[in-house]
Structure 1
Amino acid sequence: MLKVKRNFWFFSCVPGVFFLLTVFPLVSPAADDGACVLPLEGEVSGNVKLNAACTYFQTVRIVESNTHLDCNGATLEGEGKRAVGIQIDGKKKLIENVTVENCRIQNFKNRGVNITSGLRIKDFSADTDANYKLAPKKILIDHVAVLGSGRGGVYFDSYVTDSVLRNSTVEGSGKVGVYLEQGTQRIQILNNTIRNNGVDGHREGLAIDSSAHNTVKGNHFISNAGGGVFIYKNCGENFSSGKSALRWQSSDFNIVQDNTFRDERVGVWIASRQSKDLSKWGCGDPSVDESGRFFADHANNNVVERNEFCNTVTAVRVEGDNNIIVQNRIDSASRRQVFEPYQNVNKPDGRKTQGNTVKDNTLSNCVR
């Protein structure tokens, strides 16, 4: 390692290959000892390019705006014991204009990529605008592989906005592959493969939980344990523990378009918790029935169009209102095309679903 200027270092894993890091002085293994170690315990900022030949047994932390991390094909290895692969954390202040690309992130105990304000539930303001001012925005995750995360693959935490996951693979997560948490808005999930996630707890590939105005386009959802895309409003589960917030935002105005769903129990499920008995979930919301089993699951005004459903048990299940399901191609191996269970019978709150538009969906043979 060569010190060239105060707070600026050239760092390398192999002799003769250097990239610039803006850091504070520290002691780190010499470049010629064969170690692939990032300085500052993995905290990076500015423009950073990793060594393609390296496997880094570290968490990478990004806490400053205007950071561009190019892993250059390098691997971040969690060994099942490190919590998070890449932590993008505003630490209770705005962080924006962050790009992460060309990374292989595998075997982290908790999450592969975690995008968060660093605020805990008790830190959030009753003023939602104040929360948005402190949450990450304009975060781009591009061409990454997130593999074997113990919990979730890529997590957009509360109030993250205007961010993108694209051209990536999220596979083998114990729970949800990609999660859009409460208050998130305008997240784009584009041209990814989201496969074989959710084996613990029978979860879905993509959860849109109290999240609105998002676009899910051009992705492949394959063999996720619970299903492909679930759109719902969390009931404030385990509210008394202090670890869950009451959701104020409905999961509305989301667009699910031009995706392929293959070998899923349910391809897209709108209001996926409407008919679920949540009496043991400790919900903070009021129940809609006298027995305390069911809760309003707000997921309305969403669009599901031009998708292909191959060998799904149910292609689209709709339990919310005023949703549009049009021009989808569904193969004959899918047992149910569009299922609206409360079209003719009452939901637990005594109402039927209303205003949903289902038309121009066609039978189509899928090509393996």
Structure 2
Amino acid sequence: MSGWPRALFIVLAAVAAPMAHAVSACSAEKLALLRSPPKPGEGAVLIDCHLTLQPTDVITRSLYFNHGAVSNGVQVDCQGATLSHTDVNADIPRINVQSYAYTLPDGSTEWEPTHDITIKNCRLEGNINMSGMGGQDVPAVKESSRTRADHTAVMRRRAPTNIVLDSLTIDPQDRIAIYLSMGVTGVTVRRSTFLGTSPSAVIYLDAEGGEHRIVDNQFKTTAPREVIAVDGSSDNLIQGNVFHTSPRGGIFIYRNCGEAGTVRHNEPSRNDVFDNQFLDPSGPENGLPHLWVASRNGNRSYCDDDAGFPYGSSVNDRDEAHRTAIKGNYFNTRTRAVMWGDGPNYLIDNIATDTGAWPGADDFGSTFVGNRAGSGPVASTSCFWRDKLPMLLRDGEVQDLDLTQPKKVSCAPHRLVCEAGVLKQRAPRCDAADIIERHFKCSVRGDNAGCEKALACGPRKRLSALKARCNLEVGGIHRDALSNAAWNSLVVDRESDVVSDGHCQAAAYDVASGGTQLLGTLPNPVRVGCREHDEDGGECRIEGDYVCY
């Protein structure tokens, strides 16, 4: 993110970290100070107490949580009050959550992160910023990115975490409404409405951060670019939001390689985009999609500014955005709903006004399940989650097995049940004696028709897991690779000499190279097979294991 917000500065203070304290309600003196107009140089008030405002309050001093432990655990309830400003403090955030920097006896700097704060029921005329060590222009950040393999962990350890923003109405007044700087983790933004205009994104999730939750919000802000920027931020949940206007796109996921010479380490992977509505009736302009995974992939002039270091974007300018789960969304467009330049990704149960609005196949091994055309949103009742491998259950389906160990399927400690889109734990019912593992193989030489097998578990058992590998030329399967392969995967060990002439198939999945993840309940029986075309007849082999339970 270029143009580090000038209000986010690091102050090197006393030679000690602030001491935590028991949080009490704000005093009458603190409330009086907050309600008084700000003086030059005194535009913000440190909030180190539980703050409850009156609905009629108009607070023109900014709320700062920038002294580490003294603000930890604070609860703010505006009860509908307005957080505004005067000319004295119009250029600083209305809310600023910042780690506290202090000097150790040896002269080095340490950071005391601010954490566990809830702010709710406020009307904001302005913006919110959260910061740890600082942004890309801060020398300590740049140095860490170039010299430390654990840079992401360092940034996260020193940044705010576990902050809840609930039921806010924000008019950012031509600023980024919520800016979560480098390393910030665990911020929840829920049940809020965004109005007005922004000169950039509306919410910006910056590098080395993640694990944020952006849930059940209404986006009405006019922005000149995507509404939510996910820049080198991972493991985020963006769910249940309504994008009323998004002329330049809704959510873009990328990694801003090399900007300001700072190396980006964290890959913007494992982001979940569930049950959102993209309603802009005109759709994104100039062929832009509503949702773009790996939207840059080195397409910036400054990507080489971080060259020469053995980490992240210094080694590879691509976004490295992988394993994005896109489920249950509605896209009001016939042209470009979803694009991606990397993968694999999971496209599940989405609706667009035309199915040509999203990719139907790719070279990354992405998975496509249940996507369809429709004229409006329909609630998704399936459950997608990640453990050591992604899993999908339909409404009412259960999972009793632990499939996280490639070489051995066992009983899971809990029964997982999908109930109307919510994954719930129940007491286990699994008996290991009921788990049956079987092996299969099928091969053909000199026959373009290929080979096919039907794998069945009989009337009393379900085909609960499958893994298969294919050789689409002459040769065998790497048995060690098969043994160590993840369950519910389909992988090509060797492509056809003409890649498009090869097919490795399991149920509705068909890959010619790479691999894909088999999501959801498989049929019983399930058909597996391979085909390869050649002038004198094709050769192929498929081999694998499956589990009946």
TM range (shorter): 0.7 to 0.9
In structure 2, which of residues 124, 133, 146 is the aligned counterpart of residue 105 of structure 1?
A: 124
> Offset at 1:321?
1.4
In structure 1, which of residues 175, 193, 204 is the aligned counterpart of residue 226 of structure 2?
A: 204
In structure 1, which of residues 39, 44, 67 is the aligned counterpart of residue 47 of structure 2?
A: 44
Q: How does 1:180-195 map to 2 (within 5 A)?
A: 180-195=205-220
Q: How does 1:85-124 map to 2 (within 5 A)?
A: 85-91=94-100, 92-106=111-125, 108=126, 112-120=127-135, 121-124=138-141
- Relative distance call for 1:44 and 1:29 in structure 2 (3 A) is closer
- CA distance in 2 between counterparts of 1:255 and 1:303 reads 5
Contact 1:238 1:283 in 2 (8 A): no
> Offset at 1:312?
6.3
> Offset at 1:365?
0.7
Which is further off, 302-311 or 120-129? 120-129
2:156 is paired with a residue whose SS is: helix
Query: What does residue 242 of structure 1 align with?
Result: none
Which consecutive unaligned segments of at least 5 residues does structure 1 have? 1-18, 240-244, 288-293, 344-352
Contact 2:80 2:123 in 1 (8 A): yes
1:132 is paired with a residue whose SS is: helix
- CA distance in 2 between counterparts of 1:191 and 1:257 reads 11
- CA distance in 2 between counterparts of 1:26 and 1:302 reads 45
Quick check: 1:278 aligned with 2:300?
yes
Quick check: 1:317 aligned with 2:339?
yes
Query: What does residue 350 of structure 2 align with?
Result: 328
Residues 294-323 of structure 1 deviation map (CA, whole Å, 9 limit, x = unaligned) = 941211111101101113641111111111
Query: What does residue 256 of structure 2 align with?
Result: 234
Letter of the aligned partner of 1:327 in structure 2?
Answer: D
Query: What does residue 150 of structure 1 align with?
Result: 174
- The percentage of aligned residue pairs carrying the same residue is 23
Q: TM-score, normalised by structure 1?
A: 0.76
- CA distance in 2 between counterparts of 1:164 and 1:26 reads 27
Query: What does residue 338 of structure 1 align with?
Result: 358
- Relative distance call for 1:67 and 1:277 in structure 2 (3 A) is same
> Offset at 1:235?
1.2
Q: How does 1:1-368 map to 2 (within 5 A)?
A: 20-21=25-26, 41-63=44-66, 64-78=71-85, 81-91=90-100, 92-106=111-125, 108=126, 112-120=127-135, 121-124=138-141, 125=144, 126=148, 127-128=150-151, 129-171=153-195, 172-199=197-224, 203-239=225-261, 245-263=262-280, 264-265=283-284, 266-274=289-297, 277-279=299-301, 281=302, 283-285=304-306, 295-311=317-333, 313-332=335-354, 336-339=356-359, 343=362, 353-366=363-376
- Relative distance call for 1:28 and 1:37 in structure 2 (3 A) is farther
> Offset at 1:168?
0.6
Contact 1:22 1:45 in 2 (8 A): no
- Relative distance call for 1:194 and 1:79 in structure 2 (3 A) is farther
Q: TM-score, normalised by structure 2?
A: 0.52
Letter of the aligned partner of 2:26 in structure 1?
Answer: L
- CA distance in 2 between counterparts of 1:30 and 1:218 reads 35
- CA distance in 1 between counterparts of 2:279 and 2:376 reads 9
Contact 2:57 2:82 in 1 (8 A): yes
- CA distance in 2 between counterparts of 1:225 and 1:235 reads 25
Letter of the aligned partner of 2:217 in structure 1?
Answer: N
> Offset at 1:44?
1.3
Query: What does residue 486 of structure 2 align with?
Result: none
Contact 1:67 1:99 in 2 (8 A): yes
Residues 318-361 of structure 1 deviation map (CA, whole Å, 9 limit, x = unaligned) = 111111112101114x8x41148x94xxxxxxxxx421223321
- CA distance in 2 between counterparts of 1:144 and 1:313 reads 33
- CA distance in 1 between counterparts of 2:245 and 2:170 reads 16
Q: Where is the helix percentage greater, Structure 1 or Structure 2? A: 2
2:177 is paired with a residue whose SS is: strand
Query: What does residue 3 of structure 1 align with?
Result: none
Contact 2:155 2:208 in 1 (8 A): no
Contact 2:34 2:60 in 1 (8 A): no
- CA distance in 2 between counterparts of 1:170 and 1:313 reads 26
> Offset at 1:261?
0.8
* Aligned length, in residue pairs: 313
- CA distance in 2 between counterparts of 1:30 and 1:84 reads 15
- CA distance in 1 between counterparts of 2:209 and 2:291 reads 19
- Relative distance call for 1:47 and 1:26 in structure 2 (3 A) is closer
> Offset at 1:236?
2.2
Backbone CA RMSD of aligned residues = 3.0
Letter of the aligned partner of 1:338 in structure 2?
Answer: W
